Structure 1
Amino acid sequence: MRKFCIVLLFVISCAINGIAQPSGLDSSFGVNGKLIYSTPSTYTSEFDGISVQPDGKIISVGSWLQYQVVLRCKPDGHPDSSFGVNGIFSRSFSSLNFIYRDIVLLSNSKILLGGDDAANNHSLFRLNSNGTPDSTFGNNGYVSASAGGQGYYVAMSLQPDGKIITMGTIITGAGNVIAIVRFMANGTVDSSFGINGRVATYIGNYGATPGAITVQPDGKILVGTQAYKNQQISAFACLRYLPVGSLDTTFNHTGIAWGTTGFLTYVKTMALQPDGKIILGGAINGNLVLQRLDSNGIADSSFGNNSIASADTCVASCMALRNNGSIVIGGYTTANKEDWAVMQFKPGGTLDSSFGQYGKIFTEVGPGNDRMYDIALQADGKVVACGTYCKTATSSGAQVDAAIVRYHSDGRLIVSQPHTGIIPDITLYPLPASDLLHIHTSANAAIMDASLYGMDGRCIAHLPINNNTLYVAGFPNGLYLLRLLSPSFSPITRRIIINH
């Protein structure tokens, strides 16, 4: 057997270039708010799902090397040695040919994993609370069922009675078909659902690309998807099924509610509010879009701008609702490079300015393209997230590590203290700055990064740099902190005034 080593690195954002970066994370978690699970340079790893137990322990699911893994860590980010082996349950892909993509915590403290196998079947694996396979579920914890054809698994949800709904696609020549399978709580396929436990739905002209599923308290099933309303128009869409598997015609008269449209449309997440309203999240033409529907499938005009809330150059990949109705969105940016993004919207669909900076946090987890795949809320309101960390600016595929981070409940961003080292002679002019701010260094050192912060320590923007000149015309008048990075000296922070 080939031996391998998985190394848990508690690293700070500067691990690649050796200098401190501003941190938007909760420093009481891991090291400076971050856990990086590193694999050899010829492999890739990622965390796809995350959940928080009632005792505050955090469980993530994903893949490292050729292994599928479940990690449980304590609230401070250290591995929980009471789970699996040193906090990790792992199994080689070849042993089951099963890729973990999703996680649900059960009321009996057991852990349910969802995904697909090499034959593209919908597969489930159940663990005991201590990280051992649950022998009372299927074949030593494992069950698998065909959805009815070649396709892929997307997500799962639980019914109030404990039955398990998995959702994915069947690929056909006419486009993707939405495929749903229902399992009994013990892992057997529920033959009372649809036809032999399966439902397949083709909508639109070119099929659909579903992204999310959830179950209402009354047992009705919601699926959020992208679909083509006609040959040219891609749209948000939501389907509602009765508990028996047929479309619910009380939902927009057909069981299908069509939403906002665009050229490049993605639906990746969905949330059900306590009042029955439905929020779909994703992106259209590279910009984050949320749309809220009433419980009957009609667009809710009281939300955002005629049922739509949006943010520039981001994709929403995950969502969580706070008890006060606020909507926490996780995802990644699409401009220049991909960085982790967290945003908070008020219940009415406007960005919540009390969170982060103007409702947003952009976090450069690594120097390359990084993606956030899932988020969960702790009881204290802190946000834990998981996804990928790209080791270098040019890395792809085999240079990607798995990452977990934690944000403060209000999203506050803290400017790190600069490292000791060479302190350059730097002049900023003119001050106050109106449109352009010039940077002069005694050694003509090149500035490689300039970050603008509010006086409360919240990051506002990474400023574009042209020959050591910054453009600041778009910011309101006021006092700011400017943090400069250069290969020639340690990070420095200066106060500046912007006055137009």
Structure 2
Amino acid sequence: GIVQTENISEPKKTIITPDNKILTIGYHLLNSPNPNLITHSFLLKLNQNGTPDQMFGNNGLIQTNIDYKDTPYDVVFQNDGKILLGGSFTIENPLLGVFPNSPYIARYSSNGIPDYSFADNGILKITNFNSITSTNLCSIVPQNDGKIIVGISGNNNNNNFFGALVKLTSNGVIDTNFGTNGILTIGDSNFKFNLLNLLLTDDNKFLLCGYDSTISSNPKTAIIKLNLDGSYDTSFANNGKLITDINISNSVFEYLNKISKSPDGNYICGGYVANNYLMIKFNLNGQFIDTFGNNGIFQNFSNIQDFYLQNSNIFLGGVQFENDEPIFKIICLNENGTINTNFNTNGYLYLNPTNQQDILKSFILDNQSSIIMSGNSGMLGNYNVTHAKVESENLNNENFWIERVEIFPNPFNNSLNIDNPEKIKSIEFYDYLGKKINIEYSSNFSVINTENLKKGIYLCKITCNNGKIEIKKLIKH
């Protein structure tokens, strides 16, 4: 259930395609020396069994070169099956250095061929903002009429943040009939709104989320509802704005960066308040759903990267640290925000797919309720992209998920003790540079002799009889 792809560095988003395959976007970091950390975007398409889709790109992979540096943030399918990839790019000027970010959109056919009928040879670079303004694409929303709305967050280099919508025609040209020359800037001096996510609602209006930084020392979560022409829907919350100060203390940063429609017809926004993951549930009129969390607001857990809604469950995905090393984490909640203990017997799923650091970046559930996770795995900055799939029938299978194996003490001296040694197939030790260390271990023994190990940090790779792998970070004094 685990696939690693080399020569690409970090995934940003994973989705299920209309033909029920897996599409991941992200970036690859150019090889050293690379002092400016130059990255370029990629699209990777996998079959459900983890093999590359040979009908897509080059062996399932497309690597772009939008400009000097580019990173993707969103990908969607149009109704005609074409793919819209969006992100941000920078250009380099030898005299002036690297310019601020600007958004880009690229369009591909369903099999990954660039659509040269779109914009300029398949790519639109949105450079309508002034040269000192850094702008990033956050969302792409195809409309039913074939036109496209692009959500943008901006910073004019004086930490004055703003949000903007750009409307494109179906062939990738900015629609100057929308806003001012095709651009609608959201907010003013009395409402400094930074846009982080956008979607089209069932009543054919726009929901936007982000934060209000009008008072710079006390940012607040912000949800906005707009009509298709960009005017506020005054029937929503307070004249189109739902602004909430989750933590009234100054200097506590809070924001919302994702909106999803709940199966019950309401909506959930996710983000952060301080170090806690935050979700707000509300209806299309901007009223909190009191049965969710604490009067419509949920805040709990740390190191959460994303959430996903399926049936009556809310899934959270992120990172769990074990012995200071990151592994994949999935948490399942009931519709009201409580832990769903029917999921994997206790509501939690931890997965250590490789013998390296594993950092979950995105996840999705397919129509069989299998969980497909994507992240980066590696050591000392040398990362590859890892996909892991856990099928729903395995989640409560005791032969698949065993009790965690414990090795102690940590730190250790001349020996290590093992709990449940009968469940272990092999144990391997690596130094912190990834070099394997020769050390003898006999199956079913509860003690490992470590007299010959030098003082330092080690990674211990434990392979269980059922194929599950765990990585422990150990320190010898």
TM-score range, shorter-chain basis? 0.7 to 0.9
- CA distance in 1 between counterparts of 2:448 and 2:209 reads 45
Give how far 1:319 is off: 2.8
Corresponding residue for 1:297?
286
Corresponding residue for 2:309?
321
Give how far 1:194 is off: 1.6
Corresponding residue for 1:152?
136
Corresponding residue for 2:96?
none
CA contact (8 A) 1:352 1:358 kept: yes
Alignment CA distance shift 1:368-1:307 (3 Å): farther
- Unmatched segments (≥5 aa) in structure 1: 1-32, 419-425, 429-436, 456-482, 495-500
Corresponding residue for 2:262?
273
**Matched position secondary structure for 1:261:** coil
2:367 partner amino acid: A
- CA distance in 1 between counterparts of 2:447 and 2:174 reads 57
Corresponding residue for 2:63?
90
1:329 partner amino acid: L
1:355 partner amino acid: F
- CA distance in 2 between counterparts of 1:38 and 1:485 reads 36
Is 1:134 matched with 2:115?
A: yes
Is 1:405 matched with 2:388?
A: yes
1:167 partner amino acid: G
Give how far 1:281 is off: 0.9
Give how far 1:124 is off: 1.1
Alignment CA distance shift 1:445-1:121 (3 Å): same
Give how far 1:254 is off: 2.4
2:144 partner amino acid: P
**Matched position secondary structure for 1:306:** coil
CA contact (8 A) 2:273 2:299 kept: no
**Matched position secondary structure for 2:51:** coil
1:297 partner amino acid: G
2:295 to 306, 328, 342: 306
Give how far 1:364 is off: 3.5
1:382 to 342, 361, 370: 370
Give how far 1:132 is off: 0.9
- Unmatched segments (≥5 aa) in structure 2: 31-39, 92-100, 424-444, 451-459, 466-477
| Range 84-93 or range 287-296, more displaced | 84-93
Normalising to structure 1: TM-score of the pair?
0.70
Alignment CA distance shift 1:332-1:326 (3 Å): same
Structure of greater relative contact order (alpha carbons < 8 Å, 6+ residues apart): 1
Corresponding residue for 2:4?
36
Give how far 1:303 is off: 1.0
- CA distance in 2 between counterparts of 1:485 and 1:295 reads 60
- CA distance in 1 between counterparts of 2:448 and 2:255 reads 38
Corresponding residue for 2:104?
123
Corresponding residue for 1:285?
274
1:284 partner amino acid: V
- CA distance in 2 between counterparts of 1:267 and 1:248 reads 20
Corresponding residue for 1:107?
79
CA contact (8 A) 1:353 1:359 kept: yes
Corresponding residue for 1:331?
318
1:445 partner amino acid: S
Give how far 1:76 is off: 0.2
- CA distance in 2 between counterparts of 1:204 and 1:261 reads 22
Aligned residue runs from structure 1 range 150-189, under 5 A:
150=133, 151-172=135-156, 173-189=158-174
Deviations 1:252-286 (A, max 9, x none): 13221123523232423221235542211122222
CA contact (8 A) 2:371 2:389 kept: yes
Give how far 1:444 is off: 5.6
The CA RMSD measured in Å over matched residues stands at 3.7
CA contact (8 A) 1:238 1:256 kept: yes
| Range 96-105 or range 361-370, more displaced | 361-370
CA contact (8 A) 2:344 2:396 kept: yes
- CA distance in 1 between counterparts of 2:126 and 2:29 reads 26
Number of residue-to-residue matches in the alignment: 402
- CA distance in 2 between counterparts of 1:289 and 1:258 reads 14
CA contact (8 A) 2:218 2:253 kept: no
Corresponding residue for 2:50?
77
Alignment CA distance shift 1:364-1:258 (3 Å): farther
1:225 to 200, 206, 210: 210
- CA distance in 2 between counterparts of 1:293 and 1:401 reads 38
CA contact (8 A) 2:341 2:347 kept: yes
Give how far 1:174 is off: 4.9
1:101 partner amino acid: Y
1:61 partner amino acid: I
- CA distance in 2 between counterparts of 1:485 and 1:192 reads 74
Deviations 1:447-471 (A, max 9, x none): 5x979xxx9xxxxxxxxxxxxxxxx
- CA distance in 2 between counterparts of 1:185 and 1:487 reads 67
- CA distance in 2 between counterparts of 1:366 and 1:493 reads 13
Give how far 1:406 is off: 1.7
2:26 to 45, 59, 62: 62
Is 1:353 matched with 2:326?
A: no
Deviations 1:404-461 (A, max 9, x none): 222233744767799xxxxxxx9x9xxxxxxxx9889xx96225x979xxx9xxxxxx
2:254 partner amino acid: T
CA contact (8 A) 1:93 1:99 kept: no
Normalising to structure 2: TM-score of the pair?
0.74
1:197 to 182, 189, 196: 182
CA contact (8 A) 2:193 2:214 kept: no
